[in-house]
Structure 1
Amino acid sequence: MFRISAVLTEGVDPDALQQAADITIKRFPTMAVKLRKGLFWCSLHENNNPLTVRKESASPCSPIMGVKEDNGYLLRILYFGRRITLECFHALTDGMGAMEFLKSLVYRYLLLTGKEVQDEGVLLLPENPPEPQEEEDGCVRYYQKHAKKAKLEERKAHAIQGTVPEDRKTMVIHGVLPALPLRDYARRHGTTITGYLAAVFAQAILSSGSQQGRSPHPVRLVVPVNLRGMFPSKSLRNFVTQISVSLPAASGQTIDDMVESVTAQMKASVTEEHLSGKIAAYVGYEKMLVGRMVPWFIKKMAISLVSKRVYHATTALFTNLGDVKLPKSMEPYIEMIEVVPSPKKAASINCGICSVGGNLNIAFAGNIAEPDVIERFFELVSQQTGLEAELYSNGWLKSDKHSAVGRSLYPPYTAASEQSGGVRPIPVKA
């Protein structure tokens, strides 16, 4: 699961949001689907059930509960205070597809609440029927049979360790920074915002008190790459792949060393040859005749085994959806856009960033009680750039009780340590 949200400048009207959802879902047939399990495959089918918006009350990125609660949808639309949220199961779409849906939803909502907004040619609207290319499988389109298939990363990585609350709720900390000064700082150091912040994230993991000396293995960050940048496609389905960057656990590296290493690894991985190999690997597995003849329950076990290998080879996910393009007429009504990826099952922290209107929102999602890795991250950014982040969360920070921003954007949350009498440590093998 992952979530993207629009934080508005005024409170959300639930009735208008429901009307906007009813209209918007009809424009996105790739989103209006339900999952069916067959003998050999799971498949997506049209879903004509109502899509009901709900006031947010559960932990961010909670699992989809199925037909009873979500009417079979693999997405949900939530609201709380000034925030409109779209949560998606990643098999449905990627960040770009979800963002297109959210932008259209918010546009329709603003119209219904009397705001004078125009689409300005940058939105997908119900008045315009879906293009056939929106439903294409980009990987199948750009599959090259003879491309050198990329191999899975299997070497062990540093595992973030911490105390997992018994209720396993996802804790989120957001930090808001001015985008342009940060971009200029990154450029002066020969990198991008993604390259710089990924390096700082790795530095924070290696230098935070809870993680120091925990593992001899490198910090390995997985970075999603939007394939549409290399292979033009209008697909609203999943069309991303992942690259990884590694930094050794050995001490003595400066932040400049880390930035240089991360930037070089990203440049080497984001090439047409390498990404074609990623596509060839994905589609190759799907086209295997033996695989097609194997029942789904056996496929599921095989997928689980592969996932565990990839899991141990990953420290954290770091995703950047970039600068979100909105119609100029909508900008006065939207304060921020947030991207929140769900953490892994065991102790972990993942990061999602994006910007709109000059505000860069950096969201860390985790399932451990200790926030010191994130606090260390923002401390390092401040020391290095001179930029101070405005922080808010759903209860992970002690300062939340004094934060008007945190109180207005998240439901009241009582930590598991207060709610259920304690937290229990879950050991994670390094």
Structure 2
Amino acid sequence: MKNTKRPGWSRLDNAAKVFPALANKKDSRVFRFACQLTEPVQKKALQQAAEQALEEFPIFTNIIRHGMFWYYLEESGKMPIVHEEDQNVCSRLYDKNEHHLLIDISYYKCRINFEIFHAMADATGALMFLKTLVVNYLKIVHPVLVHEDLSLGIDSTFREKDSDSFSQYYNKEEKNSSMSFLGEKTVPIFHFHEPSTPDFFQQVTEAEVSTRQIIAAAKQYHTTVTVFLVSLLILSIYDAMEPRDRKKAVRIMVPVNLRNYFPSATVRNFFGLIAVTYDRKKQGETLEDVIAAVAENFRRELTKEKLEKMIAGQVSLEKHMAARAIPLIFKDIGMELSGLIAGARQTMYFSNIGRITMPKALAPYVCQFDFFIGCAGRQICMCSYEDHMMVTCAGSSSPKDTERAFFRRLAEFDSDMIINTNYSGKED
């Protein structure tokens, strides 16, 4: 008898709802984590490791479908096919008219790549999966490792991994503007207006610096690594700016891992955004001036009370009865317009996934990690493993003056910085 059981489905989390509407050939909303090993990757073992990892993270085999009013996740029963890297980084994974997996696992020489559509997970959730994948792979290739302690501290249940933490921590009593995600329009904000690369090719420039040296530099200025690098980025944007634009303020959007404030084991999206706005004309031109202002901005915004209001503002919009009754086709138009407005009120994104750790027994096999997101404009992402800090600029904007200015400033704190790109550096 034919099995007519309908596949299981679940709602997208609050942050995920915008990504299907905003994803297009120019802006894939796909991000990549990569792990560099000390030896060439074996395809067959990686396929086996991927299937084992997906048993622990079944949500990543879901596909996205759309109904009358909302997008939703549906079980697919599919498994990704591991392959040698053969396409541009962060290529489009989501297409409204196709229903295929929204993850991609590939390899190149000694590197394992994991790409995922942002609607499925945030960087923290994707990193949980990649670490599990790498541990599984190394146990297969090196059976002696099965006797070692390779625990990653990921002992959550399927239900906990698949939970919607936005709904869990939504407090309808909190009062906040449901449109706060658009960013405040208090001062003129500098925004890049530049041509895209042919075919919207994602140009990636990664800098490898010493974790110890960058931490030491941040301590020299009595601040954190994130505040230090955001401050360098702000000054670099002004360095590359046309003189006529220097009267404008710079606004950097910084994703915040909400799990650090609200206990959650979800691998789905659970992040917020804070806006760091700096006006050099009013607040000063030295690195010390910028660090002081950025640090104060972080202190002001990164409180549990502020973040609770942020969650309330985001979730209340989707729970509004009038908004729920609007057909999806009109919701998409509204989200696209909101994305354009938000983009015009921002300069760049800066995302720090932080320090990545792996079991000590894997130290002889793991070199470094990398992380970046494909976007239509510009974004800087960073992570560190041991003494390898990777600071990566990615985007489809063609001129690279700002990136060059940023890396020049960064090189002042590590003269042995190594730069790698996936393009020739020649610009039209």
- TM-score over 0.5 for the pair: yes
Single out whichever of 179-188 and 280-289 deviates more from structure 2. 179-188
Output one character per residue of 1:330-378: Cα deviation in whole Å (capped at 9) or x when no partner.
222111110112222xxx2211000012211001002233323222112
1:6 aligns with 2:35: yes
How far the C-alpha of 1:67 sits from its partner, in A, is: 9.6
Is 1:238 the counterpart of 2:269? The answer is yes
Q: Which of these residues, 159, 163, 166, is aligned with residue 132 of structure 1?
A: 159
Q: Does 1:186 align with 2:215?
A: no
1:120 aligns with 2:150: yes
Matched, 1:105 2:136: no
1-side partners of 2:55 and 2:399: how far apart?
A: 42
Report Cα offsets for 1:246-287 as digits up to 9, x if no partner. Answer: 112539511111111111101111001110011001210121
Per-residue deviation, residues 195-218 of structure 1 (Å, max 9, x unmatched):
00011111111102x655346431
- What's the secondary structure of 2:264's corresponding residue? coil
Letter in 1 for 2:300: A
Identity %: 28
Shift of 1:160: 2.4
Letter in 2 for 1:356: Y
Compared CA separation, residues 119 and 157, structure 1 to 2 (3 A): farther
> For the residues of structure 1 that align with 2:40 and 2:374, how far apart are their CA atoms?
26
Give the whole-Å Cα distance in 1 for the aligned partners of 2:362 and 2:242: 43
Counterpart residue identity of residue 126, structure 2: A
Shift in CA distance, 216/157, structure 1 to aligned 2, threshold 3 Å: same
Say if 1:308 and 1:269 are closer, same or farther in 2 by CA, change over 3 A: same
| Equivalent in the alignment of 2:255 | 224
Q: CA deviation at 1:50?
A: 2.2
Query: 381, 398, 404: which is aligned to 1:352?
Result: 381
Query: Please, which of 366, 373, 377 is the counterpart of residue 406 of structure 2?
Result: 377
Following TM superposition, the consecutive aligned residue runs of length 4 or more in structure 1 with deviations greater than 6 angstroms are none
| Matching of residues 29-428 of structure 1 within 5 Å | 29-64=58-93, 66=95, 72-114=100-142, 116-117=144-145, 118-124=148-154, 130-150=157-177, 151=180, 152-155=182-185, 156-208=188-240, 211-214=242-245, 216-250=247-281, 253-344=285-376, 348-383=377-412, 385-397=413-425
Residues in 1 aligned to 2:349 and 2:69: alpha-carbon distance in whole angstroms = 30
User: Does structure 1 retain, via aligned residues, the 8 Å contact 2:124–2:353?
Assistant: yes
| Partners of 2:233 and 2:144 in 1: CA distance | 40
Contact 1:171 1:396 in 2 (8 A): no
Q: Distance in 1 between matches of 2:242 and 2:206?
A: 21
Task: Report the secondary structure of 1:136's partner residue.
Answer: coil
RMSD after superposition: 2.1
Provide closer, same or farther for how the CA distance between residues 340 and 20 of structure 1 changes in structure 2, counting only shifts above 3 A.
same
Assess, with a 3 A threshold, how the Cα gap between structure 1 residues 217 and 119 changes in structure 2: closer, same or farther.
Answer: farther
The CA deviation at 1:397 is: 3.8
TM-superposed CA distance for 1:115, in Å, is: 5.5
Q: Distance in 2 between matches of 1:95 and 1:386?
A: 27
CA–CA separation in structure 2 for the residues paired with 1:46 and 1:190: 49
Q: TM-score, normalised by structure 2?
A: 0.86
1:285 maps to a residue whose letter is: L
Q: How many residues align?
A: 391
> Using the alignment, how far apart are the partners of 2:65 and 2:97 within structure 1?
15
AA paired with 1:4? F
Change (3 A) 1:115 1:361: farther
Q: Deviations over 1:367-404 (max 9, x none)?
A: 23332322211211223x25431111111547xxxxxx
Structure 1 residues 192, 375: CA separation in 2 closer, same or farther (over 3 Å shift)? same
Structure 2: which 5+ residue stretches go unaligned? 1-29
- SS of the equivalent of 1:250 reads helix
Contact 2:34 2:369 (8 Å CA) reproduced: yes
Q: 2:45 is matched with which residue: 16, 37, 57?
A: 16
